Amino acid sequence: MWSSSVSSMFGCGALMAPIGRRNDGGLTIVCSSRPKKKATSHHMKTRPRKTQPWDINRKPTEYPPLPPLPPDFTVIIPASADSSVPPPPPST
């Protein structure tokens, strides 16, 4: 009967982190010389951050209201209608 352990599977040592601090079950592989981040971790680490006060305090851009629709278009759902009720199908 073979006894497989983490160190024999990966050919290196593994550390067990205390439970509750990590979301991956506590297993950390320590043999990688250049570990790669997974997609979400990478994007969160390398996302652009606002560092200048003028950029941090900047308000969102306010655009002028859109012009009214031309008469060729028909509004099916008015802006004030409840979105939970679907509109009836158009009768042809």
* Prediction pTM value: 0.31
Average pLDDT over residues 53-57: 95
Query: CA 44, CA 33: separation in Å to the nearest integer?
Result: 22
Cβ atoms of 37 and 45 closer than 8 Å: yes
Is pLDDT larger for residue 79 or for residue 54?
54
Say how many CA atoms lie within 13 Å of 68 toward its Cβ.
4
User: Mean pLDDT across the chain, nearest whole number?
Assistant: 75
Please say if the pLDDT value at position 3 is more than 70. Answer: no
Cβ atoms of 76 and 87 closer than 8 Å: yes
What residue segments make up the domains of the chain, in order of their start? 7-33
Structure confidence at residue 50 as a pLDDT band (50, 70, 90): very high
